[in-house]
Amino acid sequence: MANKTNYTMNGKEYFRISASFGRDSNGKLIRKFFYGKNEKEAKQKLEEYKRSVDNGLVVDKKLFLYPIMHEWLFEIVSNNIKASTLDRYEDLFRNYIKPAPFAYKVIKDIQAIDIQKYYNELYKSGKSYSRINRVNKILKYFLNFAINEGYTLRNPCLKVTIPGSKEVIKNEVETFSNEELTKILNSNEEYLIKSISIIAFSTGMRVGEILGLSENDIDIENNRININQIVACYTEIDGDTRKKVKVLQTPKTKNSIRSIPLPNSIISILAAAKTEKLKNKLKAGSSYNKKYDDLYFLTENGNLLYPTNITKSWKAFLNRLDIPYKKFHALRHTYATMQFEARTPLKTVSKLLGHSKVDITANTYTHVLKKEEEKAIDIISVLKMC
C-alpha cells in the first residue's frame, strides 16, 4: 500500500512526487514538484500538468511577463506598425505594464484577479476608463501572442472588468463662429500659422495632413487635393535615451488616403508658401535640407515641422486675435459643420474627412445632424395648407 504522505512542509503532511520536463534556456534540467493530500491527488496534478504541456505550454520557469513583452513589442510588433503607433504602445508599456505588480510574474501564473486588482488601483488613483481600457488592449494583444507561443494556455484579460464607465462623449464639438473666422482671414499674422489655419477650415484636413502636403498632391487642372502622406511624431528609444522624431509617412487608415476638392481660396496661399520656401532656401544656402523640397510647409532650414509646434503656436495666435481658445482641430469641426449646414450628405462629409466609418462622422456630429433635421419641412403641414 502506498504511503499516504511522504513530505512535511510548514508543519503539514503532503505526498510529493517530481517529474522532469526537458531543459531551460541555460541547459539546466527543469524539475517540477507536485503536492497532494495523498499519492493519488499528487499524481492527478502531475497528469494535468502533462496534458498542459502536450497542449503547448512552455515549462521554462524564467518566462516573466515584462522581459518577454519587451522583446515582443520591440522585436516583433515594431516591424509591423507605424512609428507613431509604436510610440503609443511604448508609452502604455513603460508607464503601466512595467510598474505592474505582475510584471515579473511567470506569464502562465498570472491570474485575472492579479490584473483586476491592478486596474482597480489605477482607477482609484484617477486613471480614466479609456486609459485603463487601452492598457488592457495591449496586454491582451501580448497574451494572445503568448498563447500562440505556448507560454500560457489562457488569456486572463478576457475575464477582467474595466473599472468605471465609458466617458460620455460631449454632445457638441467646438466650432468657430463666422466672426472668428473672419478675424483669422483678415489677420496680419505671419504667413505660416495663418496659412495652415485657413487651409484647415477650408478643407477639413488634419494638421499632420497639411504639413505633409506636397506640390505633387495639388491637381490644379481638376481642382483636387490628393492626401497621401502625413507628418507624424514619435519617440525614438535607444536604451534609456528618448528623443522626439518627425517622420513623413502614409496615413494611419486607408480612408485617410483620399482626394478632396481644392478650394480656389487656398491656391494663392499655396503659391505664397512656395515663394516663402524659395526665400528660405536662398537664405540658408548649403545648410538647407533638400530632402523634403516638394513640401509646402517646412522650417527655415527645410526640415519637417512638428505638428505639436503648430498647435502651440495656434494658442498664441488666437490670443493675439482676442479669440477664445479652441483646439486647432476645431477648424476641422467647423468645416464639417458648414458642410452639414449646406446639406452635404453624411456619407460625402465622412469621405471628405477621411473617417474610417460613416458611424464615426454621425456620432461626432450628432448635434449638427439633429439641428439640420429640425429644419426639414413638415410634409403633412404643407399638404394641409394646400
How many CA within 13 A on the CB side of residue 249?
Answer: 15
Residue with grid cell 473672419, as numbered in its chain: 182
Q: What is the pLDDT of residue 376?
A: 61
Q: In terms of Cα–Cα distance, which of 137, 131, 139 is closest to 105?
A: 139
The pLDDT of residue 349 is 94
Residue 377: predicted pLDDT: 54
Task: Of 150-164, 229-243, 291-305, give the lowest mean pLDDT range.
Answer: 229-243
Cell of 86: 509604436
| Locus of grid cell 535640407 | 289
Q: How high is the pLDDT of residue 135?
A: 98
pLDDT tens, residue by residue, 51-61: 766 665 555 55
> Which phi and psi angles does 83 have, rounded to 5°?
-60, -40
Map grid coordinates 512656395 to a residue.
Answer: 274
List Cβ neighbours of 205 (8 Å cut-off, separation of 6 or more). 199, 213, 225, 227, 260, 332
Q: Does the pLDDT value for residue 199 go beyond 80?
A: yes
Q: Which residue has the higher pLDDT, 287 or 28?
A: 287
Instruction: Look at residue 235 in the predicted model and tell me its pLDDT.
Output: 75
User: CA 130, CA 128: separation in Å to the nearest integer?
Assistant: 5
Confidence grade of residue 292 (pLDDT, cut at 50, 70, 90): very high
What's the predicted TM-score (pTM) here?
0.69
Predicted pLDDT of residue 1: 44
The mean pLDDT of the chain is: 86
Closest CA relative to residue 254, chosen from 351, 369, 124: 351
Task: Compute the average pLDDT of residues 107-134.
Answer: 95
pLDDT for residue 136: 97
CA 377/CA 115 separation, integer angstroms: 55
pLDDT value, residue 26: 63
Domains of the chain in start order, with CATH, are 7-54 (no CATH), 65-159 (1.10.150.130), 178-373 (1.10.443.10)
